[in-house]
Amino acid sequence: MNKNLIPTFTCSTIYNLDIDKVKKLGYQYILTDLDNTLTGPYEKNASQDVKDLISKFVNNGFNVIILSNNRQKRVSNFVKPLNVPFLYQVKKPKTHKLQKYLNENNIDTKKCLIIGDQIMTDILMANRLNIDSVLVNRLTKIDQVITIIPRFLDRYFRRKLKKKKLLKEF
């Protein structure tokens, strides 16, 4: 099993993440995927649940950064009322755009936690950058067309990870 496909932790959803544990482990930055991690892929506006979650993270001292492979318009319109930074068209699992952002802002990767719903994008990118990660289940069964193949691979690798007992619950 390729170690770059193994998440540091798993959790059912980002909404069930134990914030006290995140704090105890010393993380200061929560870098979260947008589509099917925070919200459904076709939701145009942040729901009250999303706003409450981001506020909860921020009020607990975390710096939140939204990461998305989606277009600027989709991401900026969604994130605007959340008042947190975001990166769009990250091209996960490529690392260049996020690495550049981390370097420009002097962010220590050891203080970061990436949360996402896909092994082939979010987890692979996190491991390539040596950033701890949390693999969550997707929020909806609805996906964008571009995620069909990665989602198929994701199901395959999740089964393998589970069978080999390589998934560590957060």
pTM for the whole thing?
0.93
Question: Does residue 168 fall inside a structural domain?
Answer: no
| Cα→Cα distances 106→92, 102, 111, 112, 154, Å | 21, 6, 11, 12, 32
pLDDT, one tens digit per residue, over 44-99 is: 899 999 999 999 999 999 999 999 999 999 999 999 999 999 999 999 999 999 99
- Predicted confidence (pLDDT) at residue 145 exceeds the cutoff of 70: no
What's the confidence (pLDDT) of residue 150? 76
Question: Does residue 169 fall inside a structural domain?
Answer: no
Mean residue pLDDT across the chain: 93
The tally of domains found in the chain comes to 1
Q: What is the mean pLDDT of residues 131-141?
A: 91
pLDDT, one tens digit per residue, over 105-121 is: 999 999 999 999 999 99
Read off the CATH number of the domain in which 138 is found. Answer: 3.40.50.1000
